């Protein structure tokens, strides 16, 4: 474990098998205690479990499908429990959770939830776009889950590609993206209500307050993504109130976007102090 009590990285990897070389490079460079991945696009029997073990991440929980979705948590710290919830009545591999075991020392008992919220398609109208309707239903399901289980009443971290950039400084142009899926008012207001009502603390914005611009995703469509810098903050880390005072640092690993065959998302690492 690092000098901090716990370090967690989250990353939409857009195919864990295709991009394992850069995942390995990231793990060697940063050595987070826990890595949470979304969009692994790997059925369970093809997940590169042996490669992660060789990299020192012996403890693993994953659920996936061939070619789409998929979430995983790999860790240098042992698990006491694991759970994968079906969302919206679908077993489509969009949630995985672990609780760290007593052997995890200062991090023991922390539950980590890893979510992959649907992107929602291109048309921000649930009557015209089934994908957008699914996204809103998924957020409603997350709200019901939180209301029923009160996850923030104990030490917990929620991470993942939530596919929504909630604040004006989470996007390159608030005005131009107001009617673009990921920054429409119905999405941003729903996500903020979900976070605040259930007591989650936005770790990134606690340590990097507005109006600082923070992006974690840059489109593949941009010819020169770095020069245009038209990003969005789609990847999030939320913590329960009892962990908020232990937030030590957050790092958006922007240089990873320029690595060989990158994802369009970059890793985000949050560190908690003792």
pLDDT of amino acid 41: 98
Beta partners for residue 201, in sequence order: 239
Backbone angles phi, psi at 90, to 5 degrees: -115, 135
Q: Is residue 233 part of a domain?
A: yes
219 C-beta neighbours (distance < 10 Å), count: 11
**Strand ranges (E), the chain:** 6-12, 34-38, 59-63, 71-75, 79-83, 95-100, 111-116, 156-161, 201-202, 217-218, 231-232, 235-239, 247-252, 268-272
pLDDT of amino acid 49: 98
- Name the pLDDT band for 3 (thresholds 50, 70, 90): low
Residue 190 has pLDDT above 80, yes or no: yes
The token duo for 190 is 């729903």
The pLDDT tens digits for 136-175 are: 999 999 999 999 999 999 999 999 999 999 999 999 999 9
Beta partners for residue 60, in sequence order: 74
Residue 248 has pLDDT above 80, yes or no: yes
The pLDDT tens digits for 51-110 are: 999 999 999 999 999 999 999 999 999 999 999 999 999 999 999 999 999 999 999 999
- Name the pLDDT band for 4 (thresholds 50, 70, 90): confident
- Average pLDDT of 213-240? 96
The token duo for 62 is 């994953």
pLDDT of amino acid 274: 87
The pLDDT tens digits for 125-146 are: 999 999 999 999 999 999 999 9
Q: Which domain holds residue 33?
A: 6-272
Q: Is residue 1 part of a domain?
A: no
d(CA 267, CA 254): 8
Task: Quote the number of domains for the chain.
Answer: 1
Q: Is residue 158 part of a domain?
A: yes
Percentage, residues of the chain above pLDDT 90: 97
The token duo for 48 is 């590169």
- Name the pLDDT band for 246 (thresholds 50, 70, 90): very high
Q: Is residue 179 part of a domain?
A: yes
pLDDT of amino acid 223: 84
Q: Which CATH number do you get for residue 25? A: 3.60.10.10
Q: Is residue 52 part of a domain?
A: yes
The token duo for 264 is 């369009």
pLDDT of amino acid 2: 47
- Average pLDDT of 224-235? 97
Q: Is residue 173 part of a domain?
A: yes
Nearest Cα to Cα of residue 27 among 241, 272, 209, 269: 269
Q: Is residue 244 part of a domain?
A: yes
Q: Which residues are CB-contacts of 28 (< 8 A; sequence separation ≥ 6)?
A: 55
Nearest Cα to Cα of residue 257 among 216, 227, 200, 208: 216
pLDDT of amino acid 139: 98
pLDDT of amino acid 21: 98
Secondary-structure breakdown of the chain: helix, strand, coil percentages, each rounded to the nearest 5: 30, 25, 40
25 C-beta neighbours (distance < 10 Å), count: 13
Q: Is residue 252 part of a domain?
A: yes
d(CA 236, CA 80): 24
Residue with tokens 């673009």: 180
């Amino acid at each position: 474990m690092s000098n901090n009590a716990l370090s967690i990285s989250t990353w939409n990897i857009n195919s864990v098998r295709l991009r394992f070389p850069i995942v390995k490079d990231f793990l060697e460079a940063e050595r987070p205690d826990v890595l949470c991945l979304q969009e692994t696009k790997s059925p369970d029997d093809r997940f590169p479990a042996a490669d992660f073990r060789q990299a020192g991440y012996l403890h693993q929980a994953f659920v996936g499908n061939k070619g789409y979705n998929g979430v995983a948590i790999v860790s240098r710290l042992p698990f006491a429990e694991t759970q994968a919830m079906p969302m919206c009545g679908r077993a489509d591999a969009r949630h995985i959770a672990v609780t760290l075991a007593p052997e995890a020392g200062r991090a023991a008992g922390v539950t980590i939830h890893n979510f992959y919220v649907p992107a929602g398609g291109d048309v921000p109208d649930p009557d015209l776009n089934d994908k957008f309707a699914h996204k809103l239903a998924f957020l409603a399901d997350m709200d019901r889950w939180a209301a029923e289980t009160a996850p923030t009443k104990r030490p917990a971290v929620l991470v993942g590609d939530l596919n929504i950039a909630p604040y004006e400084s989470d996007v390159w142009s608030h005005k131009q993206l107001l009617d673009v899926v990921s920054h429409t008012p119905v999405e941003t207001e729903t996500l903020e209500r979900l976070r605040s009502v259930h007591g989650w603390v936005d770790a990134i914005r606690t340590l990097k307050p507005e109006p600082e611009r923070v992006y974690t995703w840059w489109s593949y469509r941009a010819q020169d993504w770095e020069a245009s810098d038209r990003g969005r903050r789609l990847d999030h880390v939320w913590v329960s109130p009892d962990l908020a005072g232990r937030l030590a640092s957050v790092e958006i690993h922007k240089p990873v976007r320029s690595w060989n065959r990158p994802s369009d998302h970059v890793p985000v690492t949050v560190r908690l102090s003792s």
